[in-house]
Amino acid sequence: MGINLGNFLGSLENKSKMNDFQDLDHLDGISISSVSANLYDNGRDDLVMFYFRDGANHASVYTQSKIVSENIKWNINQKSKRVKSLLINTRNANAFTGKKGYLGLQKIALELATKLSEKQKEDEAKPQKISVKEILFGCTGTIGEEYPTEKIKNKISDLVEKIRYTQNKYIWIKAALGIITTDLKPKLAMEECEIGNTKVKIYGIAKGSGMIYPNMATTLGYLFTDADLSNEILKKLLKKNITTTFNAISCDGDTSTNDMVSIFSTGKIKHSNIKNINDEKLKDFDTALNKVLLNLAKRVVSDGEGASKFISINVKNCKKEDDAKKIAFSISNSPLVKTAIAGEDPNWGRVVMAVGKAGIKLDLENLSIKFGDFKIVEKGQLYEKYNELEVADYMKGKNIDITVFIETGTKSFTTYTMDFTKKYIEINADYRS
């Protein structure tokens, strides 16, 4: 299974590097297939399938937008505790497509269920008939365009024929490339950890570059583990760890109609039975899951449309965590802050503005601000030793840290964002062409 050159060369042109990726290898219980359904003009892969031949437990978080894609409606309507397949298409969001878009998914699901059932008869000693209720969808791309049902349906046979039961890093990269839109780089992450004394893996891929702002997840993210964890445990773990990872990023302040982050557990590694997320034997897995989610989330931000800077906003010592979060996102989402950073201008007044407009009660005399290690504001006043030339030099770096001290309590929150460049406007002006 080679890498589609249309995807790969496109990322190379944008200075993507192979050594950016962790070496994801085989994860038992999962098979991957990627093809082109010709949704783009250049023949790149745009259809990716994950096949769980024995089924997988699962949990997902979805966008909180009041306008959601038809695939999210489909996924929510499926009540099966175990799923057999996840099918992802790019180029078309299947959002604002109404009943026709939903029925399109139904047709594709029926075709996929039929072909996978036939595959079971060929490959398995005890074949299972796969139901449409055991199939989930991910869609991403342009909103409001007619869903290309027939194009996708006609490629299902090819997709199933190309299933590979053993993966390597190239197959994972191929899958990660197959789900991108305006992304410049595929996004992959992995961790190995233990449940009790048993080693397990967590792998993940994601896409996201624009329309990134959380109210659950903000992108497409898919995680896979060979651990044996129930749907309920997966749900609780995902909800817990999404807060400080995918729910802590913003590229442009816009929430998509299609946001979803899912985790799938194949159960192929047998370990201590876990009935509660507070079980001590689950701590290492919990930590590793957070690392994978944060790694992917940061990759989304660093690959933000037109981004030249990766920015961390740290708000510390607030009365409530929610206060810190509101202030952090007020700064992260400010076009004025983001353009100043793009221009490498240490315009700390814009940060002050963003802190004030968050609507959180402040004691101005206790407010302090730092850019990197450089103190800018101390106790509500410009720091007497402030040297703008030093800070201007710091702003030339690729990674910018802004820390705001509120001093009304002990709670903190960190968000991650990027700058606004002329390239951002160019990308979004030409998004559909």
Q: Which residues are catalytic?
A: 218
Q: Round to whole Å and give the CA distance between 160 and 35.
A: 10
Q: Are 265 and 189 in contact (CB under 8 A)?
A: no
CA angle 29, 35, 38 (to 5 degrees): 150
E strands present in 334-419 = 368-371, 374-378, 381-382, 399-405, 411-418
Q: Are 384 and 286 in contact (CB under 8 A)?
A: no
DSSP-assigned letter for residue 92: B
Q: Round to whole Å and give the CA distance between 259 and 65.
A: 9
Q: Round to whole Å and give the CA distance between 318 and 324.
A: 6
Of 29, 52, 88, 27, nearest to 292 (Cα)?
27
Residue type, 147: Y
- 233: Cα separation from own chain's centroid: 20
E strands present in 142-229 = 187-195, 198-207, 220-225
3-state helix, strand, coil in the chain (%, to 5): 35, 25, 40
Q: Are 102 and 78 in contact (CB under 8 A)?
A: no
CA angle 58, 177, 115 (to 5 degrees): 55
Phi-psi region of 43 (alpha: psi -120 to 50; beta: other; left: phi over 0): left
Q: Is 141 exposed, middle or buried (0-12, 13-18, 19+ CB in 10 A)?
A: buried
What stretch of H or E contains 427?
A: helix 422-429
Residue-wise DSSP of 285-327 = HHHHHHHHHHHHHHHHHHT-TT---EEEEEEEEESSHHHHHHH
